Amino acid sequence: MTPEQLAGFRSLFPVTRRYVYLNHASNGPLALPVVEAMNGYIQRCSLHGEVPYPEAEAVVEDCREMAARLMGVLASEIAFVKNVSAGAIIAIGSIEWQHGDNMILMRDAFPTNVYPFDYLLPHVEKRYVTSTELAKGSECVFTLVDRHTRAIAIDWVHFLSGMKADVIAIATFCRTRAIHILLDVMQGLGAVNQSFGELGIDFAYAGAGKWLLGPQGSGILYVNSAILPKLKPANLGWLSAKWDDFNDIYTRKPLKPGASRYEEGTKNYIGIYGLRESLRILLDAGMSEVAARVRMLTQLLRQRLEEKGFELMTPVDPQRHAGIITASRPGVDMAALFARLKEQGFICSLRENRLRIAPHFYNTEEEIERFCTALPARQEKGSGQNPCAVRQGPSRPTREPLNP
Ligand SMILES: Cc1ncc(COP(=O)(O)O)c(C=O)c1O
């Protein structure tokens, strides 16, 4: 990407005028074309009462094709969902679970990948790996597998440490075994260039509102076409069947052949209009370019943080992380540092008393340097007061309200 091209993409993000925004693991800021597309839809509904259904559906299909291109899969393998949880719930509901089945989960997964499995599958035995184990390789998964293992459901990129699981190794291991792989790609899709069609996993789900730079309340579910005909009906409604017009509403139609059968009713058109534009930005920039820039910026960040004495929670191997770098420094009050950075216009997250820093492709090296310059200098003995030194006395609250 040339500097001119980068400047062009940056100019689409008003957030860059006010902040050094390094918080994509929490919220992706909306670019101007995303806002314009959603405003345009809203305005038309306001002025004309509606956007004609065929026109809105054409936008949906265009967006589906873009999502498929971004993921390296077929458009017929994409369904639009409202969030990651919806994707996980559909996957759970469509698998033929058998008596005596077990499955493998991440003990420290984001709660999206805990609750539905616990409550919807109480009779399926759960076996657990941790993100720390997965950072060392996929053996921890393989050793838990036996002939009753029906599924493996993990976070591709861990929301806290940023660890990226070796899903290629896991998918290769499962290829000859009848094990479903369910992947939460929320913290990776839009930051990592991965062809899911080649991977051979069964389900992948992401919300639009982080690395995809789209609006919250819209998301993408990928269902492998090779398993789709073998799945149980789940999340089915009237729009799971092909609908033509209101003159023929009572004729029972067959289910749609592709993943769009999981779109049970009226869609979040506003969200999909916005998501189409954010996907267009990523595709125009090129996912390999986007991923290369994310990699370069996180490498720079990692290096500068280490120079300043920060301890990284994120695996150092660039193969084992994506866009998240999480770090803390002994002796520094991280909550105070986080608050000071925010006041200065540096936006990241405070998670478990660490800074979680998550740059996207339109961030610059200069922004990373400025962010790191704002961090407290390495403390030499007797060199005076560190403004964020840990205070004596009762500890400060370290958790902000959960805005994951
Ligand atoms: C890994 C991961 N999965 C899922 C979610 C959110 O799930 P949902 O879209 O269902 O709220 C988050 C954070 O918001 C996350 O970090």
pLDDT tens, per residue, the chain with 404 residues: 999 999 999 999 999 999 999 999 999 999 999 999 999 999 999 999 999 999 999 999 999 999 999 999 999 999 999 999 999 999 999 999 999 999 999 999 999 999 999 999 999 999 999 999 999 999 999 999 999 999 999 999 999 999 999 999 999 999 889 899 999 999 999 999 999 999 999 999 999 999 999 999 999 999 999 999 999 989 999 999 988 777 888 888 999 999 999 999 999 999 999 999 999 999 999 999 999 999 999 999 999 999 999 999 999 888 999 999 999 999 999 999 999 999 999 999 999 999 999 999 999 999 999 999 999 987 755 444 565 665 544 444 444 444 44
**180-184 vs 203-207, strand pairing mode:** parallel
Question: In this structure, is the dihedral angle defined by the CA atoms of residues 44, 49, 55 and 57, taken in order, positive or negative?
Answer: positive
* 173 within ligand 1 shell (Cβ under 6 A): no
Query: pLDDT value at position 159?
Result: 97
> Which tokens go with 318?
């660039």
- Measure CA of the first residue to CA of the last residue in the chain; give whole Å: 30
For position 402, what pLDDT does the model report? 43
**Best mutation site among 114, 159, 211 for ligand 1, i.e. most ligand atoms within 8 A of its Cβ?**
159
Domain range enclosing 151:
32-284
Same domain, 41 and 173: yes
Domain boundary among 220, 254, 284: 284
What's the structural domain count of the chain? 2
Residue 47 placed within a domain = yes
382 within some domain: no
Å from CA of 358 to ligand 1 middle: 15
Q: What CA–CA distance (Å, rounded) separates 173 from 122?
A: 26
Residue 248 has a pLDDT of 81
**Each residue of 44-81: b (16+ CB within 10 Å) or e?**
eeeeeeebeeeebeebbeebbebbbebbebbbbbbbbb
Position 403 in a domain? no
Residue 138 belongs to a domain: yes
* 87 CA: nearest ligand 1 atom: 10
User: Do 293 and 356 have their domain in common?
Assistant: yes
Q: How far is the CA of 220 from the centre of ligand 1 (A)?
A: 12
* Any atom of ligand 1 within 6 Å of the Cβ of 263: no
Q: Which residues contact 332 (CB under 8 A, 6 or more apart)?
A: 376, 386, 388, 389, 390
Residue 106 has phi, psi (to 5 degrees) of -95, 125
Residue ending a domain, choose from 257, 284, 311: 284
Same domain, residue pair 55 and 169: yes
Do 44 and 193 belong together in one domain? yes
Residues 255 and 311 in one domain: no
Ligand 1 centroid from CA 264, angstroms: 21
The domain that holds 363 is classified in CATH as: 3.90.1150.10
- 113 CA → ligand 1 middle, Å: 8
90 and 106 fall within a common domain? yes
- Strands 219-223, 78-81: parallel, antiparallel or unpaired by DSSP? antiparallel
- Residue 397 in any domain: the answer is no
Decide: 210 and 187 in contact? Cβ < 8 Å: yes
Amino acid at 130: T
Gap from CA of 73 to ligand 1 centroid (Å): 22
- Measured N-to-C along each axis, helices 365-373 and 287-307 cross at an angle, to the nearest 10 degrees, of 20
Cβ atoms of 204 and 88 within 8 Å: the answer is no
**Are 269 and 326 in a shared domain?**
no
Q: 111 and 78: one domain?
A: yes
Looking at the structure, tell me whether residues 326 and 279 fall in a common domain.
no
For residues 276 and 308, state if they share a domain.
no
Ligand 1 neighbour 271 (Cβ under 6 A): no
Is 346 a pocket residue for ligand 1 (Cβ < 6 Å)? no
Of ligand 1's listed atoms, the one at least distance from the Cα of 109 is 1
Q: Which one of 239, 263, 284 terminates a domain?
A: 284
The rounded Å distance from CA 404 to ligand 1 centre is 7
CATH number, residue 56: 3.40.640.10
Is residue 391, in this structure, part of any structural domain at all? Answer: no
Give the sign of the dihedral formed by CA 92, CA 96, CA 97, CA 102. Answer: negative
Does residue 134 form part of some domain? yes
Three-class secondary structure of residue 128 per DSSP: strand
DSSP secondary structure of 210-265: STT---TT-EEEEE-TTTGGGSPP-S--GGGB----GGG-SS--PBPSSGGGG--S
Residue bearing tokens 């861990």: 158
The pLDDT, as a whole number, for residue 245 is 76
Mutation test residue for ligand 1: of 131, 156, 184, 326, the one with most atoms within 8 Å of CB: 184
Of 331, 334, 344, 336, give the one whose Cα is nearest residue 379.
331
- Look at residue 404 and tell me if it is in a domain: no
Burial class (CB in 10 A: 0-12, 13-18, 19+), 207: buried
Residue with CA nearest ligand 1 atom 13: 404
Tell me, yes or no, whether 187 and 306 share the same domain: no
What is the rounded distance in angstroms from the CA atom of residue 350 to the CA atom of residue 339?
Answer: 9
| Positive/negative CA dihedral, 92, 96, 100, 102 | negative
264 and 192 in a common domain: yes
